[in-house]
Amino acid sequence: MHQSPRHYFETRLRLASTPMAAATRLASSGLHADYVVYENGGTWSYAGGALAQITLDRDGARLRQPDEVHLPWDGRPLQQVQSLLDAVQIKDWRAYGWAAFELSYAKDGDLRHVGDQRLLHLVVPHTEVRIEGAEAYLRSADQGTLAAFLEVLVAEGAEPSSVPSPVNVRQAGADAYRRAVGLAVDAINDRRLQKVIYSRVVPVEHEVDFVGTYLAGRRGNSPARSFLLSLGGIEATGFSPEIVVQVDPGGRVTSQPLAGTRALTGDRTEDERLRAELLSDPKEIYEHAISVKIACDELLDVCAPGTVDVEEFMAVKERGTVQHLASRVSGRLAAGRHAWDAFKAVFPAVTASGVPKDAAYDSIRSNESEVRGLYSGAVLTVDQDGAMDAALVLRSVYRQNGRTWLRAGAGIVGQSRPERELEETCEKLGSVGRFLVPAAEPVGTGVMVGGARP
- Annotated catalytic residues are 242
H or E segment and range at residue 317: strand 309-319
N-terminal to C-terminal alpha carbon distance within the chain: 34
HSE-CB for 303 with a 13 A CA cutoff: 25
Rounded to whole angstroms, the Cα distance separating 323 from 428 reads: 10
Phi and psi torsions of 395, nearest 5°: 50, 50
CA atoms within 13 Å, Cβ hemisphere of 330:
10
- In angstroms, the CA 190 to CA 359 distance is 13
- The DSSP line for 9-67 is EEEEEE-SS-HHHHHHHHHHT-S-SSEEEEEETTEEEEEES-SEEEEEETTEEEEESSS
Contacts of 298 (CB under 8 A, 6+ apart): 255, 345, 346, 350
CB atoms within 10 A of CB 340: 23
